[in-house]
């Protein structure tokens, strides 16, 4: 046992002293900060507001900046102007032009970011034409919602903008309360806000676990292969049993991964408190300490699962190049949750999410995601965790078999046959 | 004579890698994985949940003209019944008995405030969509004018035009314009990095197992590197060509299958930029990674350093939204000319806006210049570091190597 600990300590300290480790540790957050700063610098505030739902501050700021959001030319006769029911600050966002030429001139002078034409056959077809310097299919969302509401209001008998708003986005103000226990409805967030937070949070947790599990497991593989390649392992094996070597390395590198992730989380926490916008979005979902605890448990179990698999690869592969092919097979299951991210987040209790919770190779990530963004039945957590623990035990036994001196020392090419032989012992 | 040698190296590298199981699996497996994954996502989105229905209690009177039970069928043919309840207790009881997924209360002031209160432990996303459709149809039907049918779908299509009217795109075409560069970027990135990291591991490995010493007796360092870069570049090109062909095939199939897509065409200017930019981009990355490979002594170190190059190249994806919102901002122009980010950003900009010709030309020249410069550096460093073992080159030694 002492040997295991000393190997773990050596492995941990050895990596801690490498400059490349610190470069990754501090470089990644710095790079992310720089990128997000650069990214925001050119971003004119991508508000996707609908009049009446946008914050008054936002609209006021835009008007103060003297920027009408949209111009339009009506050829159908359906939109004679901005209905009186529009709030004054919303009405100020529009510029109506009598002809396309006038609108073109305004666009050239940069008075408006773009304009729409409501053609004569609009009522039968529902088609609009938009003139704007860019083709961006998503960027015109705000302009389009402005045009949509002015048309809809004009089509109504009542010419009531509030009715039009309800008609266009009937569930924008939806709040979903849990059945039991009854909660104070003031504390429940808007469903759209909650969904947005769920996306950010779910993606965040998935990436966090993926990176931490996979990075520590790959470090293990690299360390093993490196020692095999430069024959250090032969010296080490003369004084330590393969099992102790494996356990020591797994423990040391696991700690290293945990350390790295903790540092990242601390930096991220600090940065998020500074960037209030993201924080406001994220606060729509409370991450309880229980979820963090579950995340820690899932990290440990997930790491043990993938570290055992990587150790198996490390035992049979002789060079980095050989191992990278085998790694691909192991990586696939952990990528699945990332591939189906959107499905898992929009349907946290759907069939796919449930199935992936029970598959031990995908469970560490999916379980944490589901726990973070929705209420997950306790028995499902239990079954999932039990499955992972059982897999860890099984894989540890198998890895110990493969991880024998004769496998580690032989220079044979990795093959399926050799793999099975090593398993049989 | 010298040409023949680098050609031998190139043919050798291409030959051994193209036959490797890993390469074949990646080349053929990726499109397959994409197709299967995409199919599964659609399938699960459509059939992952089994909605039981949504109850509603209307206190505002907007639904008085509707029958007590309305079935909303969504685009994926999933039925969601909406059932009227007169009091909340009954709806709650049915929710608890799991006869419905949950219920929603439409308050008396709904039209003024827009607020809705739902009670459910797990409201499937299909049910939320169905509720939305139901309310929208109801509100449109309550309006008596001749224009009412239009109200259920106010805007069916927006044709975007550039100010001069030279280019026009429908919504779907716009999405295609957006995703084609994105997809190409992924191909680019994966293709370039598989071949370049083969290159780097090959260099470091040959250094480690001393094959380099034998090679050095019969070939000049620069020819060795040029041969490797050429052979592996061809490998990457093969991979990207197969992927592009697969993507194009799937696109054509989809076009035949869905009449809505018939009017769509692949933006040829994007494809052109991709073709023109690929070769210098590859040479640049390959030369950078060779430099790293020659300077470090272990594969592990090399991989960490090459991570920096890959991050540099993939970084545009992070601020893509900013570039799309503002395709003429300083950031967008700079990243579309800066050698490592240029291929991805330039494709994106060409797709969504009209880029001045001088910028495209400048980007290409800078890219080619950077590639040549990096090749030169790589050759120098390789000559200096190819026979050094156990110790990576320090910054000072790198400087010496460059000065020759």
**What digits encode the pLDDT tens for the residues A226-248?**
788 777 888 888 888 888 888 88
pLDDT attached to residue A410: 61
pLDDT surpassing 70 at residue A42: no
Asked if residue B156 belongs to a domain, the reply is no
pLDDT surpassing 60 at residue A44: no
pLDDT attached to residue A137: 63
Asked if residue B38 belongs to a domain, the reply is no
Q: Which of B113, B144, B169 sits opposite A173 (nearest CB)?
A: B113
Residue B174 and residue B316 in one domain: yes
Q: How far is A37 from chain B (nearest CA, A)?
A: 10
pLDDT attached to residue B299: 64
Asked if residue B83 belongs to a domain, the reply is yes
Residue B102 and residue B244 in one domain: no
CATH assignment of the domain containing B81: 3.40.190
Residues in chain B with CB shorter than 8 Å from the CB of A151 are 154-155
Residue A300 and residue A388 in one domain: yes
Residue A150 and residue A102 in one domain: yes
pLDDT attached to residue B373: 92
Asked if residue A297 belongs to a domain, the reply is yes
Q: Work out the pLDDT band at A82, boundaries 50, 70, 90.
A: confident
Residue A309 and residue A207 in one domain: yes
**Which 247-286 residues of chain A touch chain B by CB within 8 A?**
none
Asked if residue A30 belongs to a domain, the reply is no
Asked if residue B43 belongs to a domain, the reply is no
Interface check B44 vs A, CB under 8 A: yes
Last residue of a domain, one of A109, A134, A168: A168
Residues in chain A with CB shorter than 8 Å from the CB of B308 are 27
Asked if residue B269 belongs to a domain, the reply is yes
Interface check A226 vs B, CB under 8 A: yes
CA angle A335, A337, A341 (to 5 degrees): 120
Asked if residue B101 belongs to a domain, the reply is yes
* Total domains present in chain B: 2
Residue A270 and residue A367 in one domain: yes
Mutate to test the interface with B, among A170, A318, A362 (most CBs of B within 10 A): A170
Residue A164 and residue A198 in one domain: no
Q: pLDDT tens digit string along A243-279?
A: 888 888 888 988 888 888 888 888 877 766 665 555 6
pLDDT attached to residue A46: 39
Instruction: Answer positive or negative: Cα dihedral of B354, B355, B361, B363.
Output: negative
Q: DSSP 3-state assignment of B102? A: strand
Asked if residue A395 belongs to a domain, the reply is yes
| Average pLDDT score over residue span B49-77 | 83
Last residue of a domain, one of B151, B181, B205: B151
Q: Which of B117, B307, B330 sits opposite A175 (nearest CB)?
A: B117
Distance separating alpha carbons of residues B79 and A172, to the nearest angstrom: 22
Task: Please state the φ and ψ torsions of residue A176, each to the nearest 5 degrees.
Answer: -105, 120
Question: Smallest Cα–Cα separation from A374: which of B44, B129, B121?
Answer: B121
Percent of chain A with pLDDT over 70: 78
Beta-strand relationship, B157-161 and B168-169: antiparallel
Residue B178 and residue B317 in one domain: yes
Residue B73 and residue B201 in one domain: no
Q: DSSP 3-state assignment of B298? A: coil
Asked if residue A50 belongs to a domain, the reply is no
pLDDT surpassing 70 at residue A54: no
Residue B205 and residue B248 in one domain: yes
pLDDT surpassing 60 at residue B245: yes
Domain that holds residue B134: 54-151
Interface check B332 vs A, CB under 8 A: yes
Residue A212 and residue A331 in one domain: yes
pLDDT attached to residue A126: 86
CB contact under 8 A, B322 and A174: no
Cβ contacts of residue A409 below 8 Å, gap of 6+?
Answer: A233, A234, A237
Residue A159 and residue A198 in one domain: no
Residue B221 and residue B75 in one domain: no
Residue A265 and residue A334 in one domain: yes
Q: Which of A137, A155, A226 sits opposite B151 (nearest CB)?
A: A155
pLDDT attached to residue A337: 85
| Average pLDDT score over residue span A106-114 | 82
Residues in chain A with CB shorter than 8 Å from the CB of B322 are 38-43
pLDDT attached to residue B340: 85
Residues in chain A with CB shorter than 8 Å from the CB of B113 are 173
Asked if residue A43 belongs to a domain, the reply is no
CB A287 within 8 A of CB A378: no
Q: Tokens for B272?
A: 């052109």
Residue A148 and residue A201 in one domain: no
Higher-confidence position of A406 and B265: B265
Asked if residue B42 belongs to a domain, the reply is no
Instruction: Answer positive or negative: Cα dihedral of B327, B331, B332, B337.
Output: positive
* Total domains present in chain A: 2
Q: Tokens for A184?
A: 């104070």
Q: Tokens for B106?
A: 């439409």
Interface check B66 vs A, CB under 8 A: no
Residue A150 and residue A217 in one domain: no
Domain that holds residue A60: 56-168
Asked if residue A152 belongs to a domain, the reply is yes
Asked if residue B80 belongs to a domain, the reply is yes
Residue A150 and residue A209 in one domain: no
Residue A242 and residue A97 in one domain: no
Q: pLDDT tens digit string along B339-357?
A: 888 888 888 888 877 788 8
Residue B319 and residue B277 in one domain: yes
pLDDT attached to residue A52: 34
Asked if residue A120 belongs to a domain, the reply is yes
């Amino acid at each position: 046992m002492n040997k295991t600990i000393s190997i773990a300590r050596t492995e941990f300290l050895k990596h801690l002293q490498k400059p490349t480790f610190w470069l990754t540790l501090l470089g990644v957050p710095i790079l992310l900060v720089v990128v997000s700063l650069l990214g925001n610098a050119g971003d004119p505030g991508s508000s996707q507001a609908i009049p009446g739902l946008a914050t008054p501050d936002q609209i006021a700021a835009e008007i103060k900046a003297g920027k009408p959001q949209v111009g339009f030319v009506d050829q159908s006769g359906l939109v004679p102007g901005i209905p009186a029911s529009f709030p004054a600050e919303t009405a100020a966002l529009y510029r109506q032009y009598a002809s396309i030429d006038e609108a073109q001139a305004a666009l050239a002078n940069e008075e408006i970011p773009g304009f729409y034409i409501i053609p004569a056959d609009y009522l039968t077809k529902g088609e609009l034409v938009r003139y704007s310097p860019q083709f961006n299919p998503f960027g015109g969302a705000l302009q389009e919602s402005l045009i949509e509401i002015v048309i809809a209001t004009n089509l109504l008998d009542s010419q009531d903008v509030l009715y039009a708003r309800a008609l266009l986005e009937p569930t924008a103000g939806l709040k979903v309360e849990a059945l039991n226990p009854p909660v104070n409805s003031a504390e429940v967030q808007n469903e759209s806000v909650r969904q947005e937070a769920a996306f950010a949070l779910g993606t965040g947790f998935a990436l966090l676990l993926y990176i931490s599990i996979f990075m520590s497991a790959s470090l293990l593989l690299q360390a093993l292969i490196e020692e095999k390649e430069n024959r250090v392992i032969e010296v080490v094996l003369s004084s330590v049993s393969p099992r102790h070597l494996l356990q020591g390395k797994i423990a040391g590198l696991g700690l290293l991964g945990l350390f790295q992730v903790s540092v990242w989380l601390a930096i991220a926490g600090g940065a998020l408190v500074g960037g209030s916008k993201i924080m406001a979005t994220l606060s729509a979902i409370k991450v309880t300490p229980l979820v963090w605890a579950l995340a820690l448990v899932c990290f440990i179990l997930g790491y043990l699962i993938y570290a055992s698999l990587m150790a198996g690869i490390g035992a049979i592969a002789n060079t980095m190049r050989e191992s990278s092919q085998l790694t691909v097979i192991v990586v696939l299951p952990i990528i699945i949750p990332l591939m189906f991210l959107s499905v898992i987040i929009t349907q946290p209790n759907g069939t796919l999410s449930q199935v992936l919770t029970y598959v031990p190779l995908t469970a560490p990530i999916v379980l944490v995601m589901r726990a973070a963004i929705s209420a997950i039945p306790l028995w499902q957590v239990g079954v999932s965790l039990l499955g992972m623990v059982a897999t860890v035990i099984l894989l540890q036994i198998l890895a110990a078999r493969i991880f024998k001196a004769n496998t580690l020392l032989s220079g044979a090419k990795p093959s399926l046959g050799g793999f099975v032989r090593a398993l049989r012992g | 004579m010298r040409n023949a040698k680098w050609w031998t190296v190139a043919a050798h590298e291409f030959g051994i890698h193209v036959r490797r199981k890993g390469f074949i699996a990646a080349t053929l497996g990726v499109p397959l994985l994409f197709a299967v994954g995409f199919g599964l996502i659609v399938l699960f989105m459509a059939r992952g949940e089994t909605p039981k229905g949504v109850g509603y209690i209307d206190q505002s009177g907007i639904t008085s003209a509707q029958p007590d039970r309305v079935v909303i069928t969504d685009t994926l043919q999933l039925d969601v019944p909406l059932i009227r309840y007169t009091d909340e207790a009954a709806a709650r009881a049915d929710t608890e008995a799991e006869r419905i997924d949950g219920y929603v209360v439409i308050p008396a002031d709904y039209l003024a405030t827009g607020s809705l209160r739902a009670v459910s432990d797990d409201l499937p996303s299909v049910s939320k969509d169905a509720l939305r459709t139901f309310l929208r149809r109801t509100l449109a039907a309550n309006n008596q004018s001749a224009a009412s049918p239009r109200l259920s779908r106010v805007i069916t299509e927006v044709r975007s035009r550039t100010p001069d009217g030279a280019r026009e795109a429908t919504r779907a075409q716009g999405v295609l314009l957006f995703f084609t560069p994105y997809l190409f970027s992924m191909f680019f990135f994966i293709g370039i990095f598989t071949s370049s990291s083969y290159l780097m591991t090959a260099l470091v490995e040959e250094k480690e197992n001393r094959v380099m010493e034998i090679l050095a007796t019969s070939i000049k360092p620069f020819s060795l590197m040029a041969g490797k870069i050429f052979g592996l570049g061809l490998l990457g090109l093969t991979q990207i060509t197969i992927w592009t062909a697969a993507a194009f095939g799937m696109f054509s199939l989809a076009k035949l299958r869905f009449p809505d897509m018939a009017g769509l065409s692949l933006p040829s200017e994007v494809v052109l930029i991709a073709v023109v930019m690929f070769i210098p981009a590859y040479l640049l990355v390959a030369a950078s990674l060779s430099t790293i490979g020659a300077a470090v002594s272990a594969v592990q170190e090399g991989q960490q350093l090459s991570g920096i190059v890959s991050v540099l190249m993939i970084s545009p994806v992070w601020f893509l939204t900013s570039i799309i919102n503002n395709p003429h901002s300083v950031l967008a122009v700079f990243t579309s000319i800066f050698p490592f980010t240029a291929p991805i950003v330039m494709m994106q900009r060409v797709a969504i806006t009209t880029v001045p010709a001088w910028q495209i030309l400048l980007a290409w020249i800078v890219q080619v210049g950077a590639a040549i410069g990096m090749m030169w550096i790589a050759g120098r460093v390789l000559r200096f570091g190819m026979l050094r073992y156990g110790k990576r080159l320090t910054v000072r030694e790198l400087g010496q190597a460059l000065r020759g």
